[in-house]
Chains A and B, each alone.
Chain A
C-alpha cells in the first residue's frame, strides 16, 4: 500500500462507505456516479465500434451506403416523380441534410433501447451505473454520423451551396438529436426489460416517426396553426436546425426550436427518473 504516512485506522476512515438497502420509490439520479465510470463507458463504446464492422466486406462504408441509398430513393420517388417541394433547394441535398441526423437518431434509439437486454450478462454479473448501457448505445451512433457527414460536405460542394455562419449552431442540433434518442431510449430500454414487446414495436415506431419528421418533405407544408404541436416531435426541431445551419435557409421559427427542445427535456428527465426507478429490478427480471 502507498499510504505509509497515515495509520491503519485513518486509512480505514478514508475509504468510501456504501450503504446497501432497499430503495424507495423515487431515487436520486446520482449522475455524478456516471463520471466515475467514464472509462467503462469509453471501453463499451470502443468495443461496439471495434466489433461493429468486423466480418463485413464493405466495413465502415455501410455508414454511408444506407443514407445515400435512402437519399437516392427519396430523390427519385418524392423529388422527381412525386414533385414534392424542397424549399427551392436541389432535392438530394434537401433530403440528405435531414437524413443524416435522422439516421443518427434512429440508430441511437434502436441501440439504446436494446442496450439493457443485449447486455444482460453484464447486468447480472457486475455492478455499474445502469445508465451507462443506453448512453453507450447512443454514442456508438455518432461514429456513423461523422462518416456520413463527409458525404454531405461533398454534396454541398457539388451543388455550390455555402453554409452561412449558422453552421456554428450545428453542434446544438446534433446534441438535440442525440438527446432525443437517449431520452426515448431510456424509456424503451427500461420497458424492454419487462416487456419484450418493445423489440417488435421498435422498427414500427421508427417508421412512423420518420413520417412525422420533415425528412422527405418540407416542414412548410404543415399548416401554421399546427406547427407548435408538430414541433413537439423533437426531430422536427433537429431537422429545421440542420437545414438552417447547413443549407443557408432562413432561420426557423423560434417556437419550433423551443418546443422541440422542451419536449426533448421533458422526455429526458422523466426517462431518467423512470429508468432509475426500475433499474433496481433489472438483474432480477432481465
Chain B
C-alpha cells in the first residue's frame, strides 16, 4: 500500500500559560529592559521550565484509503497532532509528509454567521473547509437534504434551533471530498440517528479510497470505523497497530494504572436516553458516564454539573459517600426533568476519593465532557432573548374577560421565527 501520510519524529513545544498571557507591549519592554540590565537571568531560568512538550517524537505512517483512529486521554496531544497535520500550527521538531488535499474538521460550523441564511452559510462554510464553489453548487441539494432543513434554507441561521444549525454544519462537512480527512471528535454531536448517518457517510469516504484520521473518545466508534489505532500518551506514541489490539492495550493500561495513574477515569458519556441531545424539557434525563478506576473509591464524592456557554453553573448535583471497586463502571445520574432554555451546555463530571473537596478528599478526575449537551426544544418563555431567562417552562394566563386561557406553549406568537425541528424518523 502507498503511504499518504508519513510522520517522522514530530514534536511540538508550547510555552505554559502563553495562551492566557498574551503579552502586552509593556511586558515585553520591561522584560527586554531587565535582560539588558542583566537582571533577567533568574527569570529566564524559570521561563525555561515553563516549556511543555505537547507532542514528542511521534512517528507513524498512514496508507492510502486507511482509516486511522487516534485514542488517548485528554491532553495527550491528539488535537495538537491533527492541528499540525492540517497545517494550522507548525511543529517544533521533526516533519510530516502529506500527499494530496487535506480537509480538516476540527470543529463543526467554523465561520457560520448567524445573520446569513442557511444557503449563504453553506457556501461560506464550504469555502472555508476548502471546497470549490462549483463543487458546493453541485452538491448543494444533497447537503440540504442531508441536513433536513429544506424548508428553512433561506432563513437566517440565527433563527435555527441549535440542532438544526449543527446538522447543517455537519452536512457541509460530510460532503467534503479531500484525499485526506482529519476529524476531531466532531462526530459526537447530534442525535443518534444523525450520528449514524454521519458514520455511514464516513465509511463511504474511505470506500472511495480516501484516507481518514479520526480522533474520538468513543471506543465503539473507533472500533467500528478504523482498521488501525494509534494510542498517544502524554504526547508520545504508546502503540500503533491493529485497532482492536490498540484499544485493548489502552483500556488495560488505564485499568492497571499504567497510564500514569493520575486521573483518567472518565472516558465516555452519553444520555441513557440516547445521544447527547435533549428534545423534551419535561422528561427524565440521565447522565451516563463510564468510569474506569485503578484504585478503589472509599467514602468518595461524585459531582455532576451543567455549565452554560459562559461557564456559569446552571445546575449541579453531588453524591456522597460513594464507594466503587477497581474496574469499569457505568454511573447514571437521573433527573426527572431539565426545563432550561434551549442551547448548548457542557457537562462536568468530578470524582473525589476519601471525602469531597471540602473535607480534604483527593480529586481523582474532573472532566468537562465532550461532546456538549444540546437542548433542542421549542422555547416556551418570552420571545425576546433578554426576557426569556434561564428556565424554559410553560405558563398559563387566565382571567381574560373572554374566558379564554392562553398558554405560552400553544400561543403561536410566543414562538416567533424559530422553526420547530421535525422529529427525525
Contacts and interface: CB of A to CB of B under 8 A. Distances in A.
Please indicate whether A and B come from the same complex rather than being unrelated chains: yes
Interface of A: 1, 8-9, 12, 15-23, 39-40, 42-44, 46-47, 50-51, 54-55, 121-128, 193-197, 280-281, 283-286
B88 A124 contact: yes
Contacts of A197: 24-25
A16 B100 contact: yes
Determine which residue in B19, B89, B94 has the highest number of CB atoms from chain A within 10 A of its CB, and name it: B89
Interface SS of B by simple majority: loop
B218 interface: no
Interface residues of B, number: 51
B97 A19 contact: yes
Contacts of B98: 17-20
A20 B87 contact: yes
Determine which residue in A12, A126, A280 has the highest number of CB atoms from chain B within 10 A of its CB, and name it: A126
A43 B135 CA distance: 14
22 contacts: A1-B209, A15-B4, A17-B99, A18-B87, A19-B97, A20-B96, A21-B96, A43-B123, A43-B127, A50-B116, A121-B111, A122-B110, A124-B88, A127-B87, A127-B88, A127-B102, A127-B104, A193-B22, A195-B28, A283-B83, A283-B89, A284-B14
Contact of B88 (A18, A23, A47, A283): A283
Given A15-B100, A20-B87, A196-B22, A125 B116 contact: no
A266 to B, nearest CB: 23
Interface in B60-94: 64, 83-94
B114 to A, nearest CB: 9
Contact of A17 (B25, B97, B120): B97
Those 9 A-B pairs whose CB atoms lie nearest each other, nearest first: A21-B95, A15-B100, A43-B127, A127-B87, A20-B96, A283-B89, A280-B90, A125-B107, A54-B115
A20 B88 CA distance: 10
A17 B2 CA distance: 13
B279 interface: no
Contact of A22 (B86, B93, B104): B93
Given A21-B94, A195-B24, A39 B132 contact: yes
A194 B22 contact: yes
Nearest to B107: A125
A54 B157 CA distance: 14
A62 B244 CA distance: 62
